[in-house]
Amino acid sequence: MRKGNHAANNRQQILIVALLLVSVILLTIALWPSASSEPLGWVAVNSQVEQTLAVLEQKEETKKPSAAENDKSSIVVEADKKSSQLKEGTQDEQKNGQQPQQAQQPRQTDGKLNINQATAEQLDALPGIGEVKARTIVEDREKNGAFRTVDDLRRVKGIGPKLLEKLKSSIVALP
């Protein structure tokens, strides 16, 4: 009986080893990275999408003016409107025999707003300047006198070097 038992045990051990080998082989095949990491039928399009987006972005940049140019043009248009309104008012006064009043009109240089004569509403139109900062600029100008340079705006609370850099292309400090 011992020989029969021994033979049965050997068969079981061989069977167990064979099953373990088959399991290891199947796991290796399942987990082994394939030549292409994408499933069958899938195509990598990342580079094509990036190229197309780059072309579209370039087209958009050439079509649209920059935000700074938009801000400058809106300031110039607003100043031109006020200028024409002031001229019309002066002409009406002259027709009625009255002396025209000296208009406090902000002077513009190359489309830049003169911060020494601008109203709070005009300053509010500048990038990064809201209603409160615009009023603060006007109050500072009235309290401390005209700004000698654009950099003098740093004395106004809430205007730091970054905001000042952003504003420099849109403003000028004239007497």
Q: What is the CATH number of the domain that holds 137?
A: 1.10.150.320
- Evaluate whether residue 45 is within a structural domain: no
- Evaluate whether residue 139 is within a structural domain: yes
What contacts 162, CB < 8 A, 6 or more positions away? none
> Is the entire prediction scored with pTM above 0.85?
no
- Evaluate whether residue 38 is within a structural domain: no
- Evaluate whether residue 56 is within a structural domain: no
pLDDT by 10s per residue, the chain, length 175: 566 677 788 899 999 999 999 999 998 888 877 655 555 666 667 767 777 778 778 777 776 555 555 555 555 555 555 555 544 544 444 444 544 444 444 454 678 899 999 999 999 999 899 999 999 999 999 999 999 999 999 999 999 999 999 999 889 998 8
Structural domains in the chain (count): 1
Residue 88 domain boundaries: 74-98+105-172
What contacts 39, CB < 8 A, 6 or more positions away? none
Contact 173, 148 (CB under 8 A): yes
- Evaluate whether residue 161 is within a structural domain: yes
- Evaluate whether residue 137 is within a structural domain: yes
- The SS3 call for residue 96 is coil
Nearest to 64 by CA among 52, 53, 73: 73
- Evaluate whether residue 118 is within a structural domain: yes
- Evaluate whether residue 19 is within a structural domain: no
